Structure 1
Amino acid sequence: MQFQETEYKLVEKILLGNGKFNKLQREFIELNETKTIVAGPGTGKTTALAAKIVLVLRHLNRIGSKDGLCIITHTNVAVNEINNALQQAGIGSIAHPHFIGTIHEFFNHFCVLPLYKYIFKINKLTFDVEHESDKEFYKAFLAQRYQWMNKPQYSNVKEWIANRIHDSKLVVNKETEGIEMVNSTSWEKFDNYSATMWQAKLSRKKQGFLTYDDTFLFSRFFLLDSRFKSMLQSRFKYVFLDEYQDTTPDGADLLEEIFGIENIIFQKIGDPYQTIVYGQPIPKIDEEQTFRLNLTNRFGVEIAEHLNIIMPQANVQTSSDKKSFTPIILLYENEQDIYTRYRTLIQEYELSHTSFKENTKEDKVLVWARHWASILKPGSVYKNKKPRKLESLNVLLKTLIVDFIAQKIVDNDGNISESKEWVTKHPKVNQLNKILLSILKSGINDEMKQALNDFVNELLEEKGLNRIDINNYLFSQLEDETQHTTFNLEESIGPVNDIFTIHSVKGETLRSVLVVDFIDKPLTNILLHKYGVNKEATYLYTDHNLLYVAMSRVTHLFVFAMHKRDWTTEVCNKLKNNWTVLEV
């Protein structure tokens, strides 16, 4: 699929300002066949994907096509970036027949919710890692089925079997077209109680209390009916799966089962070498079905040449105008001296290199394990620099507002599920996101209340409903919730709290990185193997990928701390010509 230069100029202005897409990015944007796109670090993958979606949608709108686009992302950050690009391009929000959202949102919307609505007659589902009341439900179920379990002397037996029910897995049997329970806990008496355990677990699930894994279980069950699969295949002509390496095997298999057919263009975009979830297999790469987006805009050849030693199959390429510093091996004797030396190194580079000083990206210390923070800085405790509580508060506030508006619509005339969907997909919802971000930073003051009041009233008026004012009980609820959780976003940033796990910075771009490696030194072992010191590769692929991720975050400077006793003559001979070697 080729696009006119005027179209390219439009999306380049929106997404790149004064920049231009490079040759590989344009090839990816115009790629119109089923492929796996292996996109390396800093290659502009998400931006190029956003451009591709804008251009394809404009093309479909221009020719009056009813073909649908399905965009499945790993996080809502990518959803927001794509939606913002669409808004600026004058397309508006993704609407029928198209879809954009996470993989769980996709399967819940098209499979799980319809299944529960039409089969189980339930409109509300509650998803969580697990539900606190599950085991109590199972105990009550067992007590009804087995009267002898109500006797005090058997209370432990009842609780023990309830735990077995909780831990046993449900699976779909394609041959019987039913849901079965498997003995995933290896219990020798499983057959004696399996029928009751199955009934108890399914009864609980039918109430709408689901885990995130249940999304794929019930979607697979729903799609046993080929009619539903055909409906999705007929609706979506183009399917884009972003960060495909992070997609769970169950989710990936289901998507392939639906969209891996000849008349659908199914493109999976991501970097398999950044698979860093322990136990998650690296996606297999079929080179004949692969397009490589491997020209990075993040760093220069000084970093790329080392990445290609650590991960040769990534074949990272650089442009000549990008310059970085030669990576540093920082030799130490005392772990507690490393951090201070790194901070002084940053100051030294700022004094001698203007481009480094003017770079606004962060400098971070990366650890393999959280408890290593206390080795580096005695007395310190690793803190999650992206607080889950903060994210939860954001979700809670948004839910209160969405539910309030949806209920007003329903009270007038409507369906609660449809009303919530209308609110969450409204073009002005980005306005709500900005207000909530301000509230998380500064609290809910009168200015924020008025901004929220205006937002709510705009949507109510659109539905012909009465306005509210800031004395409405909604604002009292919001105040109560924000008072219970106090956060200062600025406190989680900067040199005071700059120690992170490698896992936590995936997807980020940083000015510099210090990697420390203690205890069993898994990253040092990988480094020495890749440079030919250690002959055997006795390490996990996940740790190998972690080292690749850590080094590929930087624009300028990468520092690896190594103990002096590991810096043998052989190691020195192998690395001294490629690294700058400094002592603490």
Structure 2
Amino acid sequence: MYEITDEEIKWTEEILLPSGSSFDVQRRNVIKCLSSKDIIACPGSGKTTALLAKLLILEKNLPLDNNQGICVLTHTNVAIDELKNKIDNRNSRIFSYPNNFSTIQSFVNKYLTVPAYQYFFKNDIHIIDNEFYKNEFIKEFMKIPRRYRVSILKRAAHIPVHSLLHLEIHESVFTLMWGNRPLKQVYSENTPTYKILSTLKKEMLKRGILTFQEAFVLAQKYINTFPEIKELFSARFKYLLIDEMQDTSYNQQLVIQGLFDSDKVVTQFYGDRNQAIYEEKATSEVDNFRQGYPLLIDNSLRFSQSIANSIKTICVNPQDLKGNDTIRSLKPTIIRFNKENIQMVLPTFGEIIYKNGLAHEGNQTFKAVGRVTQNNDSEKIVIPSYYPYYKKREKAPFEKAKTFNDYISHLNKLNSTFAKDYREAFINCFLNFLRHLNIRNESRYFTGKSLIGYLDNKLQKGFSDIEKLMTEWTLKLNSGINIETELKNFLSNEFLPHFEITVANDKISSFFTANYDVSDDEQKNLADFQKQSDYLYVSESGENIIINIDTIHGVKGETHTATLYLETFSYAYEFDNGKIIDFLKGNHTEPKKRQEQMLKLAYVGMSRPSHLLCVAIREEALEGHELDLIDLGWDIVDVRVHKDINTEEQTIVSQS
């Protein structure tokens, strides 16, 4: 049996780690492991780097016996891009047959959902996309006679009808569902309402418009119909490696378990169950992936020991976290506030950042994060309670962009800290270019996914080279460099030839020369796009510190120099007795169901910072717990507000 050697690991250290650094014992154990195992890794553990090292070594030994391959599955394209960018410049064999390197969704779509739809519906899928599905569903729903529409909406009780009405498998049969119940149990099959909803859903299926979740329903039905598929996939792949396993839904697990025989395929699941923050993925479902005693990586490269000490019990399954001794250790801080001074929490956070000299330390990213963004009850605390100007980040406004000049204008004004915003703009530009030239994917216009799939099959290195170009363009835009000529030349001379279609020069030229007027309101929308989620703190010396405000889900996977966790209304307030204040004090007990979800969110939010963790807590929730928290190493800072008679501006008075 093949074994990974220390010499091979040393070779990967020279590629993946900073000069002079090496993998410790825990990470070496993970890299060397070639048997079925769970790898439980704490936040900031560098587990992806350990996975990369294993892949680099396995790649050197391709092809495997019997020409078997390696299947690597993740949950986001961002994770795929990260892995590809670090491997692809070495060798591309791992991205070609018989290997697979993709998201779980694209893997299932390609190998199961598409052939399943062709088999069961005798047609080709049009699109698998939640947003497209929602828009098309609403269009069809609005055609229903008003009296039935009103009745259906009343029954839905404010839950979107497009999410209630969906397809599942019950006893191996496709079943129309209304929430958790079969539709026929909600409306009798002979009623007009049942017939209307049933016809609407069947028409969506007939058109080949599916949600991501329904893609897995079709895949499961296909596996049930042709169980020999499991033998085929188990023969093709020697290794199955899944990253961020805690984000794997129940339907995804069913499909994976239906495809891979654990007696024949080495299965390794990388992740941290404490960070399973997506509520539709219940813990009992995620636990189906347990494979005996796991390998652990419990020392974080991200944060200091003081942060490790503070968060090790703010989780469902406590672990003896170890921090990074090379990072300056600062006391975690609780910012105590009340309803009257809540809007001084962010300025206080800014002051703490400034006084600790963090403005030029770490990655210089400062974020305030919370869970709840809105609530109809004005008495409940939500993120805008702290910063009334906050608006949840939305997709960049490219809907009205039609020409090349539009995209250049939008890109120059975007000023986003999120690479995905630029990537979306570039891909939309590519799609609009193809539509302008009437270049189609067989009979339909390309979508983002079908374009990437087309180029993946067409190009030797797939879409990865274009991904690298988009990254280079993004860096240039952020440095103030104009990419107009570069992007224009790419579209005309490199991108277009991939489609092997002759297009008149004047048709191409018209895309680059046409203009589209942008209204003043749109210009203002573009200018305000990023500012709505940023708070600017100006220190007493005049230094600017930008604090980005986001949801906990929005910062998962990120690292910040300092993070402020904002208490918000969730079921009941998060830090009241019976919620998670006792966990913050280091007293860990078996959490109740609602506590469990709050703990997972708090754990993800509080494990983002490298240097400083702050938590905003109402004074009534904190009362009686102060001494215990101080004994555990927390600082407690009060904010008070007074009016400066001369300037009529609010100032901060802080006390420790």
Q: TM-score range by the shorter chain?
A: 0.7 to 0.9
Q: State the match for 1:558 in structure 2.
A: 613
Q: Is the 8 A contact 2:240 2:268 kept in 1?
A: yes
Distance 1:387 1:408, change over 3 A: closer
Distance 1:108 1:482, change over 3 A: farther
Secondary structure (helix, strand or coil) at the match of 2:274 reads helix
Distance 1:80 1:70, change over 3 A: same
Q: Is the 8 A contact 2:367 2:549 kept in 1?
A: yes
Deviation per CA, 1:542-570: give whole Å up to 9, x if none.
Answer: 11111111221111111122344444355
Aligned pair 1:336/2:343, yes or no? yes
Q: State the match for 2:92 in structure 1.
A: 91
Partner amino acid for 2:389? S
Inter-partner Cα distance in structure 1 for 2:274 and 2:552: 14
Inter-partner Cα distance in structure 1 for 2:50 and 2:518: 38
Q: Is the 8 A contact 1:516 1:562 kept in 2?
A: yes
Partner amino acid for 1:455? E
Inter-partner Cα distance in structure 2 for 1:360 and 1:36: 31
Secondary structure (helix, strand or coil) at the match of 2:129 reads strand
Q: 1:456 aligns with which of 462, 483, 495?
A: 495
Distance 1:545 1:406, change over 3 A: farther
Inter-partner Cα distance in structure 2 for 1:13 and 1:21: 11
Partner amino acid for 1:11? T
Distance 1:478 1:99, change over 3 A: farther
Secondary structure (helix, strand or coil) at the match of 2:45 reads coil
Distance 1:330 1:133, change over 3 A: closer
Inter-partner Cα distance in structure 2 for 1:527 and 1:43: 25
Distance 1:477 1:171, change over 3 A: farther
Q: State the match for 1:396 in structure 2.
A: 428
Inter-partner Cα distance in structure 2 for 1:481 and 1:257: 53
Deviation per CA, 1:383-407: give whole Å up to 9, x if none.
Answer: 3177596465444234446889995
Secondary structure (helix, strand or coil) at the match of 1:191 reads coil
Aligned pair 1:376/2:386, yes or no? yes
Partner amino acid for 1:294? D
Inter-partner Cα distance in structure 1 for 2:343 and 2:441: 60
Aligned pair 1:503/2:553, yes or no? yes
Deviation per CA, 1:409-428: give whole Å up to 9, x if none.
Answer: 979xxx99984542472452
Inter-partner Cα distance in structure 2 for 1:117 and 1:481: 44
The alignment of Structure 1 onto Structure 2 pairs a total of residues equal to 558
Q: State the match for 1:298 in structure 2.
A: 302
Inter-partner Cα distance in structure 2 for 1:409 and 1:125: 12
Q: 2:135 aligns with which of 113, 132, 136?
A: 132
Inter-partner Cα distance in structure 2 for 1:421 and 1:322: 41
Inter-partner Cα distance in structure 1 for 2:318 and 2:506: 58
Secondary structure (helix, strand or coil) at the match of 2:67 reads coil
Secondary structure (helix, strand or coil) at the match of 1:295 reads coil
Aligned pair 1:315/2:367, yes or no? no
Q: Is the 8 A contact 1:329 1:580 kept in 2?
A: yes
Q: Is the 8 A contact 1:273 1:314 kept in 2?
A: no
Partner amino acid for 2:221? F
Q: How far did residue 214 of structure 1 move?
A: 1.1
Q: State the match for 2:147 in structure 1.
A: 156
In the TM superposition, 1:9-48 aligns within 5 A as: 9-18=10-19, 19-48=21-50
Q: State the match for 1:178 in structure 2.
A: 173
Secondary structure (helix, strand or coil) at the match of 2:61 reads helix
Inter-partner Cα distance in structure 1 for 2:299 and 2:391: 35
Q: State the match for 1:447 in structure 2.
A: 486
Inter-partner Cα distance in structure 1 for 2:45 and 2:102: 22
Q: State the match for 1:103 in structure 2.
A: 104
Q: State the match for 1:521 in structure 2.
A: 573
Secondary structure (helix, strand or coil) at the match of 1:317 reads coil
Deviation per CA, 1:260-319: give whole Å up to 9, x if none.
Answer: 520101111111101112343123285734222222111222111122232362332235
In the TM superposition, 1:132-531 aligns within 5 A as: 132-134=135-137, 137=140, 156-157=147-148, 167-174=164-171, 177-182=172-177, 184=181, 188-193=186-191, 198=198, 201-224=201-224, 225-282=226-283, 283-284=286-287, 286=290, 288-311=292-315, 313-333=318-338, 334-350=341-357, 357-371=360-374, 372-377=382-387, 379-384=388-393, 390=421, 392-400=424-432, 407=439, 419-423=454-458, 425-434=462-471, 437=474, 445-456=484-495, 459=498, 472=508, 475-476=511-512, 486=526, 495=545, 498-518=548-568, 520-523=572-575, 525=577, 526-530=579-583, 531=585
Q: State the match for 1:76 in structure 2.
A: 77
Q: 1:541 aligns with which of 575, 596, 617?
A: 596
Q: Is the 8 A contact 1:138 1:200 kept in 2?
A: yes
Deviation per CA, 1:468-503: give whole Å up to 9, x if none.
Answer: 879716844998699989579975667556222222
Task: Name whichever structure is richer in helix by fraction.
Answer: 1
Distance 1:320 1:477, change over 3 A: same
Inter-partner Cα distance in structure 1 for 2:496 and 2:367: 43
| TM-score (norm: length of structure 2) | 0.74
Distance 1:397 1:341, change over 3 A: same
Q: Is the 8 A contact 1:128 1:210 kept in 2?
A: yes
- In structure 1, stretches of 5+ residues that fail to align are 143-153
Distance 1:25 1:487, change over 3 A: farther
Q: Is the 8 A contact 2:335 2:637 kept in 1?
A: yes
Inter-partner Cα distance in structure 1 for 2:103 and 2:211: 16
Q: Which piece of structure 1 moves more, 221-230 or 210-219?
A: 221-230
Distance 1:192 1:205, change over 3 A: same
Give the RMSD, CA atoms, in angstroms: 4.0
Q: Is the 8 A contact 1:38 1:292 kept in 2?
A: yes
Secondary structure (helix, strand or coil) at the match of 1:111 reads helix
Inter-partner Cα distance in structure 1 for 2:469 and 2:203: 38
Q: State the match for 1:147 in structure 2.
A: none
- In structure 2, stretches of 5+ residues that fail to align are 375-381, 399-420, 444-449, 537-544, 639-653
Distance 1:158 1:87, change over 3 A: closer
Secondary structure (helix, strand or coil) at the match of 1:309 reads coil
Q: How far did residue 90 of structure 1 move?
A: 2.6
Inter-partner Cα distance in structure 2 for 1:496 and 1:326: 22
Q: Is the 8 A contact 1:181 1:198 kept in 2?
A: yes
Inter-partner Cα distance in structure 2 for 1:523 and 1:477: 58
Q: State the match for 1:145 in structure 2.
A: none
Q: How far did residue 190 of structure 1 move?
A: 2.3
Partner amino acid for 2:486? E
Inter-partner Cα distance in structure 2 for 1:557 and 1:416: 43
Secondary structure (helix, strand or coil) at the match of 1:559 reads strand
Inter-partner Cα distance in structure 2 for 1:43 and 1:534: 23
Q: State the match for 1:151 in structure 2.
A: none
Distance 1:98 1:480, change over 3 A: farther
Q: Is the 8 A contact 2:371 2:552 kept in 1?
A: yes
Q: Is the 8 A contact 2:433 2:511 kept in 1?
A: no
Distance 1:293 1:392, change over 3 A: same
Q: Is the 8 A contact 2:94 2:100 kept in 1?
A: no
Q: Is the 8 A contact 1:139 1:159 kept in 2?
A: no
Inter-partner Cα distance in structure 2 for 1:518 and 1:498: 17
Secondary structure (helix, strand or coil) at the match of 1:582 reads strand
Q: How far did residue 94 of structure 1 move?
A: 0.7
Q: Which piece of structure 1 moves more, 475-484 or 559-568?
A: 475-484
Q: Is the 8 A contact 2:230 2:260 kept in 1?
A: no
Q: 2:60 aligns with which of 47, 58, 66?
A: 58
Identity %: 20
